[in-house]
Amino acid sequence: MPERLDSTDRIAALEAEVAQLRQAVAAHAVIDQALGVVVACTGVRPATAWEILREVSQGTNTKMREIAQLVVDWPHRRTLPPEIREALNTAARRRTTQSSPQVARR
């Protein structure tokens, strides 16, 4: 009987691990898309876009995947939460030398 319990525990642990990996892959895809949005809007390189998203995440105490989802949805919704918008603009201004560094206007 203990062997069966060990197998059951092992299966449960593997199922949990698979669920976590699926979530990580999905989050990674959304983050990559958000990087593309930031690159397109600011003209920065992808590494700099990553720094911008990381700064917004840390500055707003919001998980990176949540910031990424908001940024990906932003072109369709045409709005960002004010706190995220301000943090994104501030981070982009710090890292760009373009004449119009503001990213989010709504």
Q: What's residue 9's pLDDT?
A: 86
What is the rounded average pLDDT of the residues 51-73? 95
What is the rounded average pLDDT of the residues 67-79? 92
pLDDT in tens, 23-38: 877 778 999 999 999 9
Residue by residue, DSSP assigns 62-89 as --HHHHHHHHHHHHHH----HHHHHHHH
Q: What's residue 62's pLDDT?
A: 95
* Count of positions (residues) in the chain: 106
More confident residue, 4 or 9: 9
Residue 57 has pLDDT above 80, yes or no: yes
